[in-house]
Amino acid sequence: MVEPSREMIRGCRVTKLELLWGPHPRVRIAIEGQPVADGTCVVYWMQRAQRGRDNAALNLAIATGNALKLPVIACFGLTAAYPSAQRRHYRFLVDGLIDIKADLNAKGVAFVVRLGDPAEVVLKLASELKPAVVIGDENPLRVGQMWRDHLTESLQVPLRFVDSDVVIPTSLFPKEEYAARTIRPKIHRIWDEYLKPIPNPKAQVPWPDDMLPKGEAIETEGLLGKLKVGGVGEVPSYRGGTQEAIRRLRIFIEQRLPRYATERNEPTPYMTSELSAHLHFGQISPLTIALAVLEADVPEESRASYLEELIVRRELAINFVARNPRYDELSGCPNWALATLAKHADDPRPHRYSPAQLEAGESHDPLWNASQMEMVLTGRMHNYMRMYWAKKILEWCPDAEAAFAVAMDLNDRYEMDGRDPNGYTGIAWAIGGKHDRPWPERPIFGTVRFMSYESTRRKFDSDGYIARVRSLGQGRLFDA
Ligand SMILES: Cc1cc2nc3c(=O)[nH]c(=O)nc-3n(C[C@H](O)[C@H](O)[C@H](O)COP(=O)(O)OP(=O)(O)OC[C@H]3O[C@@H](n4cnc5c(N)ncnc54)[C@H](O)[C@@H]3O)c2cc1C
């Protein structure tokens, strides 16, 4: 066997296949066993980590292929049935496939995209190719878990999953964390070990050109045409893909990061990275971003403030969805919040709006309407406005359960970064006090933190924000 000579997964000093296949906090063994002796290749099932670089799951596949002297193929199963995903999300995802193909091919790894249930796509490909082993990437959300369970039940070869979209492996936090203050010291204690570049190895046995299995042409309009997905209007100017993520990262580091600590809460203009959708689709690794931020010549407070969001808050959200099966229901929120919301369930609600009125941005509150319309028109909303937006939905819906459902539905359908652990956690924080603490009691909210129109509008140039969103609209609200 050829020995992989470099460190393929952070923290795993690989010198031979046994070590490569030994235990590692980033790797979960779904189907035990050594690679099949007469297997023809290594299959990497790319699901959440939709990129061809800085990807620990891809690295494990390539290192295993190199050790076994086998070629590597990555496959992506594209389903039109992902809950709440709209055409705007599919365009973003499909744009990203083009960059993946280019990066993989440059490493000698083949890439095949097929339409259908992702687990079924992998099973079919495995039955055609007879791989020695299949490697996938982790996704803490329920849908990804169901796909992985289905594959694990039916696949006949060894199967491993690599947790490649977090800086610190999720397995190191086996219990649900109470708040940022409980996970932060645990993360800080070990993050030096993980905040190091990972290699980008090449396949030593390139995939033979004449053996590429059948797949879809990787071309945006053609794939979108075949998917036939409708839904809310597209945002073609909000481009997906690794190249676009890297372009945004460069602009962020040069122009915004120096002011991040002091201006990140101001939506006029954004001083944040606007990388959440690319992170959601796995088109850039959080490690790539963190290392660029660590190297940047910026004030220490900006660096620390950004890494707090990117690592501590983001990985707290991943811990929540990975450890709490009710992450997308009000009942997944802490007991103190459920009790106080129940106590105030019958409080008078001076303003009440239906889900349709909220979706159309037809409240009495111009700031809220602007944030809703910003999300509808551009596929994003500033973090500060997201907090306000969700709190007002609680105030204006008949009860907290209804508010939770409306916020989740709008967030998932309109935000380009929706259907993400950060979204479920953000909504649970705003409406159900998740990761927060009790505040002084008041109507409707009880002791869940409140945000008022008056204080929020004074925090930044809210008139400028409203005017900017209005100028975006110009009647083009629902163009699907
Ligand atoms: C009600 C509500 C709904 C939200 N819905 C989503 C969602 O659907 N998808 C989503 O990715 N984020 C969501 N967030 C979290 C946060 O608003 C976004 O991650 C952030 O606005 C993305 O913009 P950015 O990339 O410019 O952030 P930056 O400030 O540049 O932060 C860098 C990265 O850190 C992470 N991050 C930032 N803020 C948070 C946070 N509060 N919690 C967890 N991680 C964070 C994100 O991955 C982000 O891309 C929500 C927050 C709230 C309060």
Phi, psi angle pair for 78, to nearest 5°? -100, 110
pLDDT in tens, 302-331: 999 999 999 999 999 999 999 999 999 999
Nearest CA to ligand 1 atom 18: 383
Closest CA to 8 of 299, 186, 203, 183: 203
CB 12 within 8 A of CB 19: yes
C-alpha distance across the termini of the chain, in Å: 55
> What is the reported pLDDT for 14?
40
Domain boundaries, the chain: 1-165, 167-198+241-323, 330-473
> What is the reported pLDDT for 474?
61
Distance 135 CA to ligand 1 centre (A): 29
> What is the reported pLDDT for 20?
72
Rounded distance between C-alpha atoms, residue 138 and residue 161, angstroms: 6
Phi, psi angle pair for 98, to nearest 5°? -65, -45
434 lines ligand 1 (CB under 6 A): no
> What is the reported pLDDT for 19?
60
Element spanning 468, H or E: helix 462-473
> What is the reported pLDDT for 21?
74
Give the number of the atom of ligand 1 that is nearest the alpha carbon of residue 280.
11
313 lines ligand 1 (CB under 6 A): yes
Residue stretches of the chain with pLDDT short of 50: 1-15, 475-480
Give the number of the atom of ligand 1 that is nearest the alpha carbon of residue 427.
1
Beta strand 133-137 with 42-45: parallel, antiparallel or unpaired?
parallel
Helix 314-323 with 421-432: angle, nearest 10 deg: 90
418 lines ligand 1 (CB under 6 A): yes
DSSP state letter for 296: S
- Contacts of 359-366 with C-beta under 8 Å, sequence gap 24+, read 359/410, 360/477, 361/477, 363/392, 363/396, 365/392, 365/453, 366/466
Distance 332 CA to ligand 1 centre (A): 20
- The CATH code that applies to domain 167-198+241-323 is 1.25.40.80
Q: Which CATH number fits domain 330-473: 1.10.10.10, 1.10.579.10, 1.10.1660.10, 3.30.70.20?
A: 1.10.579.10
Distance 320 CA to ligand 1 centre (A): 15
- Give burial (CB, 10 Å; 0-12/13-18/19+) of 316: buried
Helices (H) and strands (E) in the chain, counts: 21, 6
> What is the reported pLDDT for 22?
76
> What is the reported pLDDT for 17?
64
> What is the reported pLDDT for 16?
57
Nearest CA to ligand 1 atom 35: 310
- The CATH code that applies to domain 1-165 is 3.40.50.620
Rounded distance between C-alpha atoms, residue 455 and residue 195, angstroms: 38
> What is the reported pLDDT for 4?
40
> What is the reported pLDDT for 443?
98
